[in-house]
Structure 1
Amino acid sequence: MPLGPSSSAVHVHLNPTAAAPNVPRTPTSVTVHPGALFSILDHYLRRTDTQDRVIGTLLGTRTETEVEVRSSFAVLHSETSEQVAVDMDYHRAMYELHHRVNPKEIIVGWYSTGSNLNTYSALIQNFYSEETAPNQAIHLAINTGVEEGEQAGVKAFVGSPVGVFPKPENCVFVPVPVELRFHDAERSGIDLLTKTATSLSSTSSQPVSDLEILEQAILTVQGMLDRVLTYIQAVLSGEKKGDPAIGRYLMDTLGASADDLEKGGFNSTLQDTLMISYLANLVRSQAEVSSRLALAAT
């Protein structure tokens, strides 16, 4: 559907919590998962040479104050100096197919690449606000960092009408705090992509086995414990002044209260520690046996 040109779209930095109390369901935070972000970046890489930016639909879950973006899909559109056209039939057909696979995910807003919020952004925001009514639509602006002087990043906005008789094209974009979050199951994939991006060689990294992932996790925990032990020894010896906040955090994380000691909590904690130590030694032995077998085979 073509959306005609209009007057203005305003981008201001306001405090979302300072909004009028009679405005319902205004989100105060947005969480984005890697799957949605990678889908947006893939859409941007596959754009045509005539497209300055790409747009699409965001899917996920929401409460009255929080929005969680779990996935996204591209939407066909075109922009000129005179009008912007969005294929709404394609958008609704794609959502219907997605809803069959993931019935818990609903439309929460839309995305675009680049940091430019113009009149057309206000018109598209108005369309998605009708799709998410009575909730407000989230706009996710992905800056890919390919333009000179622009830094890559993700920003989230909600739209607020302007004027006594507001028009769709008159909109104020109010920023909302956004956070990138991933599940534990997604950690290995993200680590693989990170290693590939920072690798100096032209060959990409290969997926690691479950045993290697477990070994890396245990080594990470071991490194954390070594840093904590080094800090504690430095404080006890007087080389470093202790931070009360760090001490309370370590006590809450690693320490056992008097009640726990009386109720046998110390024994259960000791058993957990012994089990972790046993698993660590088992993994180390398995890794040594595998390496020796590999050397013997060669």
Structure 2
Amino acid sequence: MEPGFLQLSTPSATHCHLHPLVMFQVLDHHTRRNDETGRVVGALLGSANADGSVAIRNSFPMNHDDVTHQDFGLFFNTMEALHQKVNAREHVVGWYTTTKSTDDDKDEVGEEDVALHSFFEEKVGEKHACVLVRVDCNIQRASKLGVSAFTSSNMSLRSDKTAPELVLGKCFSRVTCHIRAYEAERIGVDFITHNTIGQGGGEVLGTDLEKLESSMHKLMMMIDQSIQHVDDVLDGNVEADTKVGRALAETIAMVPEMSAAEFDTSFSKGLQDILMVQYLAAVTQAQISFWQKLQSMGA
């Protein structure tokens, strides 16, 4: 008779991409919780990519973290059905939890997470691994958000190759988690993080002209970096990278061909449109304020 052996399955998810919207939803859920609630949990929505990565784009909160409660499964099914009606491409890919107020700097999966992970793992299915994202919401004394992601593997025991598996438990392993944001999202994320995380803050979002000037400075900086990289490659100081070359070629191809005079005309028209919209918005705001003042005087 062959000796028994321990078998450990390997998770299929290699890494995950987390969008800032999910972070805001988690923090909002944590802020709105009851005072006696130590942590909050919720479901993560997204899709699995062909390379094994998982894109997390949305989430919805759960009413409590007691998976044995009779309303837990009913609440989950209702929320999942509502989200499927809005966006059928987003499926449940895992779940999130925040660290308890007594956990301090603890960043590991606890025993209370196993039952919840098993519940969401059943909902995710066998297409890809169920992702657990833990968020440290104690950001008052931190310089950045603490985010960690985990997947689980079943530890099973077999007496021989023909015997059924005896599942002993789950082994959680950390996976790489990157926060991915589109350029439009990054502007808002940078503004919020600069004003809320760490000491200081009080920065005021500038006017349209100030934002345009900032964008132009950023564009010039990126162009200078690209030119410097090309010069370094031509001089032999940096090894050529085909991916960077393709990205630069695609970027240049997207720029329309126009003369300096045509560019100045187009830029002036766009600037005049911005000023006109800003003027109309100011006039509308003044009329609304005047109407509200008249209403309050008449009352």
| TM-score category, normalised to shorter length | 0.5 to 0.7
1:1-298 matched pairs, under 5 angstroms: 26-64=12-50, 65-78=52-65, 85=69, 87-114=72-99, 115-135=107-127, 136-146=129-139, 152-164=145-157, 165-166=166-167, 170-197=169-196, 200=200, 202=202, 205-206=204-205, 209=208, 213-226=211-224, 243-245=237-239, 272=257, 274=259, 278=263, 282=267, 286=271
Deviations 1:42-84 (A, max 9, x none): 11111222222111000111135121111111112246xxx96
Unmatched runs of 5 consecutive residues or more in structure 1: 1-18, 257-265
* TM-score, length-scaled by structure 1: 0.66
CA–CA separation in structure 2 for the residues paired with 1:110 and 1:269: 39
Q: Amino acid of the residue matched to residue 237 of structure 2?
A: D
CA–CA separation in structure 2 for the residues paired with 1:285 and 1:141: 45
* Residue 98 to residue 205, structure 1, CA distance change in 2 (3 Å): farther
Which range is displaced more, 113-122 or 126-135?
113-122
The CA RMSD over aligned residues, in Å, is: 4.3
Q: Alpha-carbon deviation of 1:150?
A: 10
Deviations 1:91-130 (A, max 9, x none): 1111111111111111111001123411221111111111
CA–CA separation in structure 1 for the residues paired with 2:144 and 2:183: 28
For residue 111 of structure 1, give the secondary structure of its aligned residue in structure 2: strand
CA–CA separation in structure 1 for the residues paired with 2:221 and 2:111: 52
Of all paired residues, the percent bearing the same amino acid is 23
Q: Amino acid of the residue matched to residue 171 of structure 1?
A: K
* TM-score, length-scaled by structure 2: 0.66
* Residue 52 to residue 242, structure 1, CA distance change in 2 (3 Å): farther
Which range is displaced more, 180-189 or 88-97?
180-189
**Could you say which residue in structure 1 is the equivalent of 2:4?**
none
Unmatched runs of 5 consecutive residues or more in structure 2: 1-7, 100-106, 158-165, 280-299
Q: Amino acid of the residue matched to residue 174 of structure 1?
A: S
Which range is displaced more, 186-195 or 49-58?
186-195
